[in-house]
Amino acid sequence: MLGYLVVSANTEVKIEDNIIDRQNEQIEYLKSYGYTLDNPNVILNPYDISPLTALIIFETNDAVPVSITVVGKNSDSSYTKHFEKSKVHYIPVYGLYADYNNKIIIKCQNTEKVVEIKTEKLPKDMLIDLNNNGKRDCEVKKTVLEDIEEVQCLEVGPNLIIRTHKHIEEWEVWIWPSRGQAYICPKGGQHALLNTSNTKMNLIAIKGKKDYAYEELAVAFRNLGFKVSKGDLQN
């Protein structure tokens, strides 16, 4: 058995389990023989270090390419990956949802197979609060903005101005990602944008109709990691 020795000041010795031991034990299960596309070998967390990954293993009579689609909770979060021709297929699966019945679509030539992988909740020791001296007892907090009307990517050229305008029925936030800054204009407010530099600005504009006060929007965007300010944006 692999391990390492820990020697204390009073020479007490104990053997600690090594992650390599557990991975070596898992190798016994990473077999392809006897597994087909209709009945693949599906292993969740195959190396015992990443509970939201899986490995799908099977064989085909001929060397053929394979693709998988990991189905997300919406079209934007689904992804497809293609694999080269082989008779023995070891298909890694990443990005599974925790505590969820994940759906994976395997395509092999003209055949399609749907595999479902049920995951558990993430263990608490995988959640680390970086603002709490590395202590692992923390909460995952959500920041939710309701009734988002529009999200735009703005490319503002050099020496351009968006004149002062008022928002009567909606609020707007200009996000300057490279500066980590959010400029908030609540409902009933007005703002302008002045790019007096010789370089273009890449911004994200978010608009919504819910009656949020300025401070409510400010708290939301601070939680997202932005510095916030009210009114005009000037470069």
Q: Tens digits of per-residue pLDDT, 7-46?
A: 344 434 444 445 445 545 555 556 777 899 999 999 998 8
Share of the chain above pLDDT 90, in %: 26
**What does the pLDDT average to over 143-149?**
74
The pLDDT assigned to 1 comes to: 32
Integer-rounded Cα Rg, in Å, for the chain is 26
Could you tell me the CA-to-CA distances from 148 to 1, 87, 185, 209, 212 in Å, in that order?
57, 49, 14, 7, 11
> How far is Cα 146 from Cα 85, in angstroms, rounded to an integer?
46
Mean pLDDT, the chain, as a whole number? Answer: 79
Domains and CATH numbers, the chain: 3-118 (2.60.40.10), 148-234 (2.60.120)
**What does the pLDDT average to over 135-142?**
55
Mean pLDDT check: name the lowest of 5-9, 88-92, 138-142, 149-153: 5-9
The pLDDT assigned to 6 comes to: 42
- pTM of this structure: 0.47
Mean pLDDT check: name the lowest of 39-43, 52-56, 90-94, 222-226: 222-226
The pLDDT assigned to 123 comes to: 74
Q: How confident is the model at residue 5 (pLDDT cuts 50, 70, 90)?
A: very low
- 56 CB burial (10 A radius; 0-12, 13-18, 19+): buried
pLDDT digits (tens, 9 = 90+) for 166-217: 888 889 888 888 888 889 899 888 888 888 888 888 888 888 888 888 888 8
Tell me the pairing of strands 201-208 and 190-195. Answer: unpaired
The pLDDT assigned to 57 comes to: 93
Could you tell me the CA-to-CA distances from 9 to 4, 6, 13, 18 in Å, in that order?
17, 10, 10, 22
The pLDDT assigned to 133 comes to: 56
